[in-house]
Amino acid sequence: MKFNATLPAALLLCFFIFANTAFAQKNTIDPKRWNAHWINVPGPAPDYQVCLLRKVVNLESKPASYKVFVSGDNRYKLYVNGHLVSVGPARSDFYFWNYETVDLAFYLVAGKNVISAVVANEGSWKPAAQMSYGTGFILQGATAAEEEVNTNKSWKCLRDTAYTPLPVELVYSYYVAGPGELVSMNHQPKNWQSAGFNDATWPQANQMAVGGPKGQMSFNDGWMLVPSPIAAREMIPQRLKVMRCATGINLPSTFPSEQNPVTIPANTKATILLDQTYLTNAYPTIIFSKGKDAGISMSYAEGLYIIEPGNKNWRAQERKGNRNEIEGKRFVGRKDSLISDGSDKQEFTPFNWRTYRYLQLVIETKDEPLLINDIYGTATGYPFQYKAEFESENKQLDTILQIGWHTAKLCSWETYMDCPYYEQLQYVGDTRIQAMVSYYDSGDDKLGRNAITLLDHSRLAEGITQSRYPTAIPQQIPTFSLWWIAMINDYYMYRNDNSFVADKLPGVEQVLNFFGKYQQPDGSLKNAPYWEFTDWANGKCWDAGVAPVGADGNSSVLDMQLLWAYQTAAGLENALGSKEFAAKYQKLAEQLKQTIRSKYWVATRGLYADRPEKDVFSQHANALAILSGVATPEQAKTISGKLLTDTSLVQASIYFKYYVYQALVKTGMGNDYVNWLDIWRQNIKMGMTTWAEMSDISASRSDCHAWGSSPNIEFFRTVLGIETAAPGFKKVKIEPHLGVLTHIGGSIPHPAGTVSARYDKQGSNWKIAISLPSGTPGSLVWKGKIYPLKPGENNLTL
């Protein structure tokens, strides 16, 4: 994305700093000798609060480097001379509380400088993904030269009373992503971040515990500090694109795509619907002047809701229809509200970013006109770079890839997120697919590593991981703990870090021990506890995403997933851990495989049933039967023919199609992959710019769920055929499934470089060009025949 020249210069510089301060997170001082203290505002602390902190520093000259470590609770924004330089900390838990490393030198000057911070604690209103010990801020100089800025009583502070939390009113849904903000500009201090501001009446900061790096203190008061393992989040200027409608006022057609001030007359109510034209995660900013006591609200929505007069069914009221359409619809969404103090160039940016395609402005002026100087956004997220390439004669595939990557980006911030609007939680089921998208499309594995590690930290005393983490609201989905084992194996096969994988094997053992408590003598699970979620599927005996369970407490879907986990764990232990554990898991797997075959196979249907009663059948059970090896080769061939044609099977949602399609590819049907993309084509027809959470697109709660981005894996793994053939991707297998495509090529990042493949049909022959990284051999599987590939360029005519 190019910078827009009409944005304020300070904002462009803000992006420059963010883009260039993602330092390797290494302490440069003895971590035992942190001298900075956690600080906050003295006095009784309200549940929800915004704290302002500042420190004046005099420098003889502008330094070439001035690195500091910084953290806060819940969230902080760090400024130098009024310029935003860092936002954090990256979400985690108390035992691994992240701090960022930031170089302040770019904005420092010779003479007086103001280092300042805004710390927000949303208290009981905070997002479910946000943990909190209590309001606090800490800044520690990286070396003795920077320790003059250490947080202690020399810092001044003030509680900003302008802020009040604003409840979020939505159509029926599960929403846990934090409140809106109600801000009275009358109560905000002016120019408090400037060097000329008089802070004599501000109290000294309340000095709490000395900063405690994890493992280096005899005690830690709340936060065990660790360097953030991920890169600084990107901050990219982004203008709102289109005004779709306005009532109560006439506005120029260029508003808001161009920075042209507009006036809202006195005693006017104006409602303005703005369209970004695509979903975004951004910090919206509005700059306005005059308009004493005017009210301004900014509301945010992924899509508008169809008006259903007289229909009291909440499901009907939740329908959005085509996201491009606004006629006959109502706006419902998270909202921020402001009260103008009548001064010039008042500026508001919410403390946390917002997710929106549509932004609705409602302005009610009193006796004085209000001037909107500007309104724009600053997009944010994890700084993934798209490094894959894909090109074919089917241009719709390009569109699917672009939407999938945009969806994956919006669901990546300080952790992976199931969705940015409603929850912002890192669920294992979503995250496994998201991490694979990252490996194939970007090659950046930091967020994937971080996810595996955080989920390992989340494990309960019973052994399983939490279903999502970090979170202040614990939740258990034991099946997601099994997908966590699969995540570890994915990392083992596609990245090159055996020590990282080996470190996670004790956690794998604990997860499997948990399931062992609920296995019967024949190996099958009985009455496994908690929420045994499989998929948001609709069908007989499916309940809240849980596959059917028999009267005896058995479920083939659970048994097959456990079997697959045993097989995966056996392979990991055999390669990196205990041969004894490997043998144990393999024995348990073999027993469970035989039990599943005898308990659930229905020969007359040529399918595996969902439960021992053999009365309900799903794509889920039969896909897992193929992937886990339960199905014999003959059974697998029969099943694969039914997975797509037997409409009596409970159908997988856009999420679980990831596994259904892998099963079909395994049975030799991969040449049809591009014909299986109807749900993604339906999303496009519905005006989606990201993939919906549910297969019922019109009524999907969330418009952005990256578990639907699996084509961003399979276009490379299945269609181009680029697959790992050894741990660490040290060997490459190329087995394309081109279907009707005749000219197609692409590449993916690889731990040792790049893998590319190109296929061009010329008459009855194919020209094939494959490039492998140095030191990485491979093989091409073409129509059942294997051709060896050497590192470097390989050109074949077949």
Q: Decide if pLDDT at 774 tops 90.
A: yes
The rounded distance, in Å, linking the Cα atoms of 9 and 488 is: 44
Among 65-69, 82-86, 312-316, 533-537, which stretch is predicted with the lowest mean pLDDT?
312-316
Q: Decide if pLDDT at 315 tops 90.
A: no
pLDDT-derived band at 310, boundaries 50, 70, 90 = low
CB < 8 Å & 24+ apart, contacts of 190-195: 190/343, 192/52, 192/54, 192/116, 192/158, 193/54, 193/79, 193/81, 193/82, 193/114, 193/116, 194/81, 194/82, 194/114, 195/56, 195/81, 195/112, 195/113, 195/114
B/e letters for 586-622, b = 16+ CB within 10 Å, e = fewer, are bebbebbbebbeebbbeeebbbbbbbbebebbbbbbb
Rounded mean pLDDT, 219-233:
88
pLDDT at 27: 45
pTM for the full predicted model: 0.95
pLDDT-derived band at 316, boundaries 50, 70, 90 = low
487 within 8 A of 451, measured Cβ to Cβ? yes
**Residue 745 in 3-state DSSP?**
strand
Rounded mean pLDDT, 612-641:
97
Which two three-digit tokens encode residue 49? 């609060």
pLDDT at 16: 40
| Residue 118 one-letter amino acid | V
Would you kindly state where each structural domain of the chain is located, as residue ranges?
Answer: 23-159+190-230, 235-381, 408-719, 720-798
pLDDT at 218: 61
pLDDT at 311: 63
pLDDT at 24: 40
**What pLDDT, in 10s, does the model give residues 505-522?**
999 999 999 999 999 999
Q: Report the relative pairing of strands 49-59 and 225-227 from DSSP bridges.
A: unpaired
Rounded mean pLDDT, 7-18:
41
CATH of 720-798, one of 1.10.10.10, 2.60.420.10, 2.30.40.10, 1.10.3720.10: 2.60.420.10
Q: Decide if pLDDT at 14 tops 90.
A: no
- CATH number corresponding to 23-159+190-230: 2.60.120.260
157 within 8 A of 205, measured Cβ to Cβ? yes
Which two three-digit tokens encode residue 631? 């199905």
pLDDT at 4: 33
Rounded mean pLDDT, 107-134:
97
**What pLDDT, in 10s, does the model give residues 436-453?**
999 999 999 999 999 999
Q: Which CATH class is domain 408-719?
A: mainly alpha
The residue that leads in pLDDT, 2 or 221, is: 221
391 burial level (CB within 10 Å; 0-12, 13-18, 19+): middle
Q: Decide if pLDDT at 7 tops 50.
A: no
Q: Decide if pLDDT at 219 tops 90.
A: no
pLDDT at 216: 78
565 within 8 A of 557, measured Cβ to Cβ? no
**Residue 50 in 3-state DSSP?**
strand
Q: Tell me the H-state helices in 172-221.
A: none
CATH superfamily of 235-381: Galactose-binding domain-like (2.60.120.260)
pLDDT-derived band at 171, boundaries 50, 70, 90 = confident
pLDDT-derived band at 172, boundaries 50, 70, 90 = confident
Q: Tell me the H-state helices in 43-193.
A: none
B/e letters for 490-514, b = 16+ CB within 10 Å, e = fewer, are bbbbbbbeeebbbebbebbbbbbeb
Among 219-228, 402-411, 599-608, which stretch is predicted with the lowest mean pLDDT?
219-228
Measured from the Cβ of residue 698, the count of other Cβ atoms closer than 10 Å reads 16
pLDDT-derived band at 12, boundaries 50, 70, 90 = very low
Q: Decide if pLDDT at 215 tops 50.
A: yes
| Those residues with Cβ within 8 angstroms of residue 565's Cβ, 6 or more apart along the chain or in another chain | 482, 485, 486, 511, 512, 515
Q: Decide if pLDDT at 328 tops 70.
A: yes
Q: Decide if pLDDT at 276 tops 70.
A: yes
Tell the residue number behind the tokens 């797997």, with chain if given.
589
The residue that leads in pLDDT, 216 or 68, is: 68
pLDDT at 173: 85
Rounded mean pLDDT, 10-25:
41
Measured from the Cβ of residue 243, the count of other Cβ atoms closer than 10 Å reads 18
Rounded mean pLDDT, 320-331:
96
Q: Decide if pLDDT at 772 tops 90.
A: yes
pLDDT-derived band at 393, boundaries 50, 70, 90 = very high
Rounded mean pLDDT, 223-233:
95
Q: Decide if pLDDT at 748 tops 60.
A: yes
pLDDT-derived band at 719, boundaries 50, 70, 90 = very high
Among 216-225, 692-701, 741-750, which stretch is predicted with the lowest mean pLDDT?
216-225
The rounded distance, in Å, linking the Cα atoms of 427 and 415 is: 10
Q: What is the mean pLDDT of the chain?
A: 94
**125 closest CA partner among 176, 90, 197, 76:** 176
**Domains 23-159+190-230 and 235-381 alike in fold:** yes
695 half-sphere exposure, CB direction, 13 A CA radius: 15
Q: Report the relative pairing of strands 753-762 and 111-121 from DSSP bridges.
A: unpaired
Rounded mean pLDDT, 308-325:
76
Q: Decide if pLDDT at 9 tops 60.
A: no
pLDDT at 309: 74
